[in-house]
């Protein structure tokens, strides 16, 4: 493999890994903030116990999420220095803003929250967890503004003198139409992940406590399960709406990605949506591909809102792109504008399909725990367990789809913008870094991430299976402050 | 002042924030086994940075992000050029973050001992490598006409660079010892104060040698003697206040020394951001490495508005957790182990 391929694999591995953890941090920090608010407002102990319980799981997750995030800030320069030179004037701004506006808020207030129990006034302490949560949501906004610019560059010109893209309008960059739909989509994903996490663990514990005849615990976990279910449902509806908006935007901004989502080699009117396909999706002979369980007109609808609209196929788009952006590279190689269809076709389906587990879990929670009921059947516990990883995977597949669907571009051209504000992935990597160095870093990161991932999993499992802590009676009021032990101390 | 120069200073300020703040985090990590002979004492040390270390590290991410936004060419050349050292730093920072957070999660001596090792090693590695990296910025590295780094890993390991590594290592050791003296009580404080007294003169001597070397060999201007003098004076004061056991003043003096060292480093480089050691014409300068005036203007507004706010709430954190801690403040470990299930 060449340095380019290695650099791509490395970015894929480190980013997918990092973004497995991030949605849970974003969603769960907000849900924990809501739980703590419920405790402060109602004074009910169950909310405090749930806050502490899910708070610990959140911390275990945050540590690894933030650690793997450090790499993200630097690897553009390490492995993608030509990309960095080309985009830095535009792309660097939201990245720096993310650090200034979001990371400081997140990290500083998390420290205050962890160590501030019993030390800060109750309401101030509550404010710290909200500040943490807002910081994590803001970070998603800025990084999506940066990513959306790679999908759909706006607010920038190409400067032939410097040979790079240069920003002309920061507000255009920050209000990119792509960002405005990607941000709610990612936030809804975060809530689906966190809702499934809280709901799933809530169900698991409700069944367990109920079978152990611990009624008060079972009631508490029922609350958690229903809370998670409501979050999942709202997030699910949000995902449908924003996903639909994204598809329609994508059809205009990156038509070849839309065609790749269906593996549509040639223009069709109307274009169907298949649930499965057999055959070589990327082959030259579309007849060899059998689409199974087709929904007529659905791809047309997803792309345009009209069940009968034509959707341009990849072969036709290849010609259009070749004419507009060049048929060959400077050294004479034919440019293939078709993304990897196997990946785009299946990741698109996995993204949607895996989210179904959360829907099933949410609906069954609401049904089986209706009217103050506690449900204790083992199958329910198992459904909860199986559902837990699914939205994480769905989110990862969504990212794999959108990033692989953008290929061969790293900055995809804006069809209504300046044609020179675009960059092929093959021209973005660091030419001064040898393949050996990239292999070294890739192997190192993969090994370190794997080991840390094992610890992450063991701790999550251990703490989740420990359940919500039982609250000690409040300390004697006469205790002077100095005698109070630190809470959550390392 | 031209915006490119403003941003050159902003980057220096961000690095100062990072090195001053995470400098003592690293120091605490390196000294944890020396000031803490048992688990409770080690926890005292670790909890002095507990609420703040994560926020301190954001100064690094911000320095990185700001370099990307303000000087994309510098960002691209430096991080692809310093590839392997940066990789080592990143791995250290990753493992370190997880180690600090996971150490107390399971009550098992072996579990703790392993994470302790990780905390110690991952504090030593970046403490040395940051100095190596900055010394290379002062000294210059071979660059081609396209500003690509054309040396290799060993190009970065010149005697001057290695001595630079010793400087940051010693500065952080002293900084950590003084910080522990300031933030703890009892036996941990006693040990830390002893260490600070021992480290301070060595740090002064090694830093002085390196700084004078940098000034004589690589500085084109006379004014960088000023930060050099300030750094030396501040390190003398840090030593003096350490002997007096005026921990707060010693800490302030050592922080000033680190800041002065950054001024010396950046002052020596200016107007280059990455001098080319092979051919001056290939150097990256504040002019040819920078973003457009428009981008710099935008970032000036953003930073001008946000940095004071950040300083306020980070300052407040230090105020909230201002009390010294000792072994009496450390609660029992939670009882969680992997054995039960």
Question: What percent of chain A lies above the pLDDT cut of 70?
Answer: 95
Whether the pLDDT of residue A332 is over 90: the answer is no
Q: What is the Cα B323 distance to its own chain's centre? A: 24
Three-state helix/strand/coil letters over A242-254: HHHHHHHHHHHHC
Question: What percent of chain B lies above the pLDDT cut of 70?
Answer: 99
Whether the pLDDT of residue B72 is over 60: the answer is yes
Residue of B183, B292, B327 to mutate, interface with A, max A Cβ within 10 Å: B292
- Looking at residue B341, its pLDDT comes to 47
| A54 is a domain residue | yes
- Where in A67-182 does DSSP place strands (E)? 156-159, 164-167
Q: If pLDDT is split at 50, 70 and 90, which confidence band does B336 have?
A: confident
Q: For residues B53 and B47, what is the distance between their CA atoms, to the nearest angstrom?
A: 10
| A267 is a domain residue | no
CA distance to A452, B134, B158, B213, per residue, from B206 (Å): 37, 16, 16, 11
Matching CATH number, B23-291, of 3.30.420, 1.20.1630, 1.10.10, 1.10.287:
1.20.1630
Give the least confident one: A179-183, A482-486, B164-168. Answer: A482-486
pLDDT tens profile A43-89: 999 999 999 999 999 999 999 999 999 999 999 999 999 999 999 99
Whether the pLDDT of residue A2 is over 90: the answer is no
- Looking at residue A286, its pLDDT comes to 62
- Using a CB–CB cutoff of 8 Å, tell me whether B330 touches chain A: yes
How many CA within 13 A on the CB side of residue A12?
16
| A148 is a domain residue | yes
Q: If pLDDT is split at 50, 70 and 90, which confidence band does A484 have?
A: low
What would the mean pLDDT of A196-212 be, rounded to a whole number?
Answer: 94
- Where in B249-299 does DSSP place strands (E)? 272-274, 284-285
- Using a CB–CB cutoff of 8 Å, tell me whether B9 touches chain A: no
Mean pLDDT score across all residues of chain B: 95
Whether the pLDDT of residue B141 is over 60: the answer is yes
Give B-chain residues touching A445 at CB under 8 angstroms: 91
Give the count of beta carbons closer than 10 Å to the beta carbon of residue A25.
Answer: 28
Contact B165, B128 (CB under 8 A): yes
- Looking at residue B28, its pLDDT comes to 97
Assigned token pair, B321 = 């957790």
Residue of B3, B50, B51, B301 to mutate, interface with A, max A Cβ within 10 Å: B51
- Inter-chain touch B80–A432, beta carbons under 8 Å: yes
Q: For residues B238 and B229, what is the distance between their CA atoms, to the nearest angstrom?
A: 14
- Inter-chain touch B306–A120, beta carbons under 8 Å: no
Which residue range forms the structural domain that includes residue A208? 3-250+342-394+431-469
Among B69, B104, B323, the residue with its CB nearest the CB of A92 is B69
According to the per-residue pLDDT averaged within each range, which of A349-358, A476-485, B25-34, B318-327 is highest? B25-34
- Inter-chain touch A88–B73, beta carbons under 8 Å: yes
- Looking at residue A487, its pLDDT comes to 62
Q: What is the Cα B166 distance to its own chain's centre? A: 13
- Using a CB–CB cutoff of 8 Å, tell me whether B338 touches chain A: yes
Count H helices and E strands in chain A, helices first: 15, 6
- Looking at residue A285, its pLDDT comes to 64
Q: If pLDDT is split at 50, 70 and 90, which confidence band does A262 have?
A: confident
Q: For residues A189 and A172, what is the distance between their CA atoms, to the nearest angstrom?
A: 25
**Minimal Cα–Cα distance from B115 to chain A, Å?**
11
Residue of A98, A99, A138, A160 to mutate, interface with B, max B Cβ within 10 Å: A99
pLDDT tens profile A425-443: 999 999 999 999 999 999 9
Neighbour-count burial of A323, counting CB atoms closer than 10 A to its CB (0-12 exposed, 13-18 middle, 19+ buried) = exposed
| A407 is a domain residue | no
Three-state DSSP class for residue A159: strand
pLDDT tens profile B168-222: 999 999 999 999 999 999 999 999 999 999 999 999 999 999 999 999 999 999 9
| A155 is a domain residue | yes
According to the per-residue pLDDT averaged within each range, which of A180-184, A424-428, B153-157 is highest? A180-184
Instruction: List for chain A the helix, strand, coil content (%; round to 5).
Output: 70, 5, 25
- Looking at residue A474, its pLDDT comes to 58
- Using a CB–CB cutoff of 8 Å, tell me whether B102 touches chain A: yes
In chain A, whose CA is at the least distance from the CA of B290? A89
Is the pLDDT higher at B141 or at A474? B141
- What's the ipTM? 0.93
- Confidence (pTM): 0.94
Assigned token pair, A334 = 């034919």
Whether the pLDDT of residue A479 is over 80: the answer is no
pLDDT tens profile B118-134: 999 999 999 999 999 99
The DSSP secondary-structure symbol of A311 reads B
Among B46, B98, B329, the residue with its CB nearest the CB of A64 is B98
Whether the pLDDT of residue B290 is over 50: the answer is yes
Number of domains in chain A: 1
Give the count of beta carbons closer than 10 Å to the beta carbon of residue A290.
Answer: 10
pLDDT tens profile B45-58: 999 999 999 999 99
């Amino acid at each position: 493999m060449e340095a380019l391929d290695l650099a791509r694999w490395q970015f894929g591995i480190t980013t997918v890994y990092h973004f497995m953890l991030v949605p849970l941090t974003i969603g769960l920090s907000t849900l924990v903030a809501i739980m703590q608010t419920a405790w402060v407002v109602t004074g009910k102990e169950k909310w405090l116990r749930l806050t502490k319980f899910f708070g610990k799981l959140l911390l275990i997750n945050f540590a690894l999420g933030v650690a793997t995030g450090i790499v993200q800030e630097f690897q553009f320069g390490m492995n993608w220095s030509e990309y960095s030179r080309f985009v830095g004037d535009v792309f660097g701004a939201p990245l720096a803003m993310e650090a200034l506006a979001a990371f400081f808020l997140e990290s500083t207030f998390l420290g205050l929250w962890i160590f501030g129990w019993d030390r800060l006034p109750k309401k101030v302490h509550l404010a710290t967890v909200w500040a943490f949560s807002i910081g994590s949501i803001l970070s998603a906004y800025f990084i999506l503004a940066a990513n959306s610019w790679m999908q759909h560059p706006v607010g920038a010109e190409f400067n032939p003198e410097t040979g790079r893209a240069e920003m002309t309008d920061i507000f255009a960059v920050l209000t990119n139409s792509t960002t405005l739909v990607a941000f709610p989509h990612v936030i809804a994903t975060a809530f689906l992940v966190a809702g499934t996490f809280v709901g799933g663990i809530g169900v698991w514990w409700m069944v367990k406590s109920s079978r152990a005849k611990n009624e008060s615990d079972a009631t508490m976990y029922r609350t958690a399960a229903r809370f998670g279910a409501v979050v999942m449902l709202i997030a699910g509806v949000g995902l449908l709406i924003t996903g639909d908006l994204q598809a329609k935007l994508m059809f205009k901004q990156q038509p070849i990605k839309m065609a790749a989502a269906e593996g549509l080699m040639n223009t069709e009117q109307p274009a169907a949506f298949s649930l499965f396909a057999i055959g070589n999706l990327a082959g030259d002979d579309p007849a060899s591909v059998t689409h199974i369980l087709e929904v007529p007109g659905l791809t047309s609808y997803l792309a345009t809102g009209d069940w009968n609209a034509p959707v341009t196929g990849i072969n036709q788009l290849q010609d259009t792109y070749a004419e507009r952006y060049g048929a060959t590279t400077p050294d004479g190689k034919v440019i293939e504008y078709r993304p990897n269809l196997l990946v785009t076709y299946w990741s698109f389906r996995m993204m949607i399909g895996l989210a179904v587990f959360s829907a099933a879990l949410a609906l069954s929670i609401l049904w089986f725990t209706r009217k103050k009921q506690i449900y204790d059947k083992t199958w329910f516990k198992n459904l909860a367990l199986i559902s837990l990883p699914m939205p994480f995977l769905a989110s990862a597949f969504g990212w794999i789809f959108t990033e692989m669907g953008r290929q061969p571009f790293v900055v995809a051209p804006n069809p209504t913008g300046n044609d020179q504000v675009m960059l092929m992935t093959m021209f973005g990597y660091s030419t001064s870094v040898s393949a050996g160095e990239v292999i070294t870093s890739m192997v190192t990161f993969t090994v370190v991430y794997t080991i840390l991932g094992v610890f992450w999993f063991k701790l999550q499992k251990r703490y989740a299976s420990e359940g919500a802590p039982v609250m000690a009676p409040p300390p004697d009021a006469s205790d002077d402050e100095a005698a109070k032990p630190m809470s959550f101390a390392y | 002042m031209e915006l490119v120069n403003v941003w050159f200073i902003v980057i220096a300020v961000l690095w100062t924030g990072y090195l001053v703040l995470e400098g003592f985090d690293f120091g605490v990590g390196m000294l944890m086994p020396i000031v803490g002979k048992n688990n409770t004492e080690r926890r005292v040390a670790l909890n002095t940075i507990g609420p703040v270390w994560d926020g301190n590290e954001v100064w690094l991410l911000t320095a990185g992000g700001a370099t990307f936004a303000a000087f994309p060419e510098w960002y691209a050349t430096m991080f692809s050029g310093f590839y392997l050292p940066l990789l080592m730093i990143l791995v250290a920072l990753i493992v370190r973050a997880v180690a600090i957070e996971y150490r107390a999660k399971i009550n098992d001596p072996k579990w703790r001992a392993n994470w302790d090792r990780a905390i110690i090693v991952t504090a030593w590695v970046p403490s040395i490598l940051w100095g190596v990296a900055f010394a290379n910025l002062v000294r210059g590295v071979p660059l081609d006409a396209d500003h690509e780094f054309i040396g290799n890993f060993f190009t970065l390991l010149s005697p001057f660079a290695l001595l630079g590594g010793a400087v940051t290592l010693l500065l952080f050791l002293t900084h950590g010892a003084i910080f522990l003296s300031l933030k703890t009580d009892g036996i941990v404080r006693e040990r830390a104060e002893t260490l600070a007294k021992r480290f301070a003169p060595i740090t002064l001597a090694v830093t002085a040698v390196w700084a004078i070397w940098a000034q004589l060999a690589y500085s084109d201007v006379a004014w960088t003697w000023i930060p050099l003098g300030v750094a030396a004076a501040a390190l003398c004061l840090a030593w003096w206040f350490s002997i007096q056991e005026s921990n707060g003043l010693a800490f302030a003096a050592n922080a000033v020394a680190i800041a002065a060292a950054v001024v010396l480093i950046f002052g020596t480089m200016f107007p280059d951001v990455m001098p080319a050691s092979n051919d001056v014409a290939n150097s990256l300068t504040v002019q040819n490495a920078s973003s457009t005036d428009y981008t710099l203007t935008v970032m000036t507004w953003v930073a001008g508005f946000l940095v004071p706010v950040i300083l306020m709430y980070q300052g407040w954190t230090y105020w909230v957790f201002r009390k010294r801690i000792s072994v009496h403040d450390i609660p029992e470990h939670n009882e969680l182990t992997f054995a039960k299930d």
